[in-house]
Every structure is written in C-alpha cells, then in structure tokens.
Amino acid sequence: MDYSVLFSERILALPVLLLSIVIHEFSHAYVAYRAGDMTAASQGRLTLNPLAHIDPIGTIVVPLLQFMLPGRLPLIGWAKPVPVNPLHFRSAEWDIFVSLAGPGSNFALVVLSAILLKISVLTGLVNAPALLGIVQRAEPLGTVLLYFIMINIALGIFNLIPIPPLDGSRVLYRLLASARSPLADHYAAIEPYGYFILILILMTPAWRLFGWIASTCQLLVFRLIF
C-alpha cells in the first residue's frame, strides 16, 4: 500500500472542509443581508475570506484531529456563527430562510460536485476504478470532488440536527413560534445547554445514526455517478 498516496489524498480534505464551512457561513450572512439585516455585513462577515470566519476549535483543532486520526472522528467542522438580528428581518419567515441557507449551500455544493465528477468520469478526466480504489493511482481531481460530496453531505445533515446552536434548532423554534406552540419557550430555554447536549450525543451510540444517514446519502449519490 502506498502510504504517501493515502497521505496526499487525506490532506486534500482540509482545504475542502475549510472552503465548505466558509461558504456555509457566507450563505447565512448573504441571506440575512437580503432579508434586511446588516449585522453580519457590518462586522465583516459578508465575505468568503476564511480569516473572517475561523473558529479556533471547529475550524482548526477538530479538522486536524480528524486528519491525524482518520476514521475515528467525523469529517466535519464549524466556523464562528454569523451574527444575525431577526428583529431586522422584513418578516419572521426570513428567520427560516437564513437558517436553511447554510445547509442549503452545502447541499448545493454536493449537487455541483456530483455533476462535475460525473462529467469528469464520462470524459475520462477521472479514472473511476482508481477513484474507487480498484487500482492504485492518484486522482487529485476526482479525490477533491469526492471530498466535496462527502464533506458537504455530512455538514448539511449535521447542521439540520435540531439542537442549539445548529441551524436545525432555529428552524424548529421558528416553526413552533409561528404555530404559537407553548413548547417554543421551553425549547428556547435549552439553548445555553446546546453544546453540552451535542457533546453527550457524540459520546453515545446515538451518533451512529448520524453516521448511518450521512453514509447512506453518500452511497446514493455515488451510485448516481458511477
């Protein structure tokens, strides 16, 4: 086994992950701007410059740990949350659109990468057997596109989990609030404990459900390509 090839392939995942989470946060900022909220723009977050979005733990430490311990940690990360003020939105419904903008950008990257990879395979730019590991051969283009698909599927699904501070929690809260459900206030009360809840989930078998969903979605996309 050529370990230098494996190393070069794994290291390609780091810039892919960084670009994916930057686009995720930029999408939040852009849709918030379109909704009438200038908070993110005024704080310099309406940009694709990674330096404006880096979170020391989620953007640096977690990805490096995943790189050094492949297969033991999920291939995900996060950036600093984009600041938004829903009071500035033109209507309350924009809160849902702003929240879904991040995961939506991840799924859009999945579709774009899948189309480009399919074209690359059909035109011979990417050798499918090499990319699938049937033969040993470096495929940088195919590997990068493959990582874009895998990472963004994981990021999109992960951020839809309805636990604060993930995007899915804002969507669920807005739906409860719009329905005038008494559960809305109780749900909002758990926000300060969201990170602790996420950590507990990461330490339990419940995390395997996320992995199964992400892996199943990746497999379905791969079957469409190959």
Q: Which residues are catalytic?
A: 25
Q: What span, in angstroms and rounded, lies between the C-alpha atoms of 26 and 156?
A: 14
Distance of CA 137 to the CA centre of its chain: 29
CB burial class (10 A; 0-12, 13-18, 19+) of residue 204?
exposed
Exposure of 140 in the CB half-sphere (CA atoms within 13 A): 4
**Does residue 165 have a cis bond before it (omega within 30 degrees)?**
yes
What 3-state class would DSSP assign to 225?
helix
Token pair 């109780």 in the structure block, residue = 186
Structure token digits, residue 33: 């701007």
| Residue among 220, 11, 219, 226 nearest 126 (CA) | 226
| Residue among 87, 93, 89 nearest 36 (CA) | 89
Structure token digits, residue 177: 């609030």
Q: What span, in angstroms and rounded, lies between the C-alpha atoms of 153 and 108?
A: 10
